[in-house]
Amino acid sequence: MHFALYTLAIAATAWANCSNPSAPPDTGDIALYADDNCSGGYLNVGAFNTCQSWMDFDACSAITRPGVTCDIFTTQGCNDEFVVTVDSTGYRSFCGLISDHIRSVQCFSA
């Protein structure tokens, strides 16, 4: 396993949308976006075959790298309060009027 798979990285702001080639993760397996349609601030997460947890990230949409499916949770530990599965065929918008407080992600081969 590469060290990068377990790395969390925060970038300032993205002005792309989910169909833009820059939308998929810069590093890691999934990019969580603060706004709908893969825009706003984002968090890259490397969580392939493992669970990555952190304190909090407000997210409304996400996109995975090709061939990866990820489950998103609002609690740490990837075992409770499941939000959505983001599969390798595209992206998902998952929040309503306000962002979801995302605290863990687990990814696996699609």
Compute the mean pLDDT over every residue in the chain, rounded to the nearest whole number. 82
| Cα 10 from Cα 81, distance rounded (Å) | 23
* Sign of CA pseudo-dihedral 40, 75, 66, 28: positive
- Its pTM stands at 0.80
Q: pLDDT tens-digit profile of 27-47?
A: 899 999 999 888 889 999 999
Task: Give the domain ranges of the chain.
Answer: 3-109
**Which has more confidence, 90 or 78?**
78
The DSSP bridge pattern shows strands 91-93 and 100-109 to be: unpaired
The fold of the 3-109 domain, in CATH, is: Gamma-B Crystallin; domain 1 (2.60.20)
CB-facing half-sphere around the CA of 36: CA atoms within 13 A: 6
| Cα 70 from Cα 63, distance rounded (Å) | 9
Residue 107, pLDDT > 70, answer yes
Residue 69: what are its φ and ψ, rounded to 5°? -120, 140
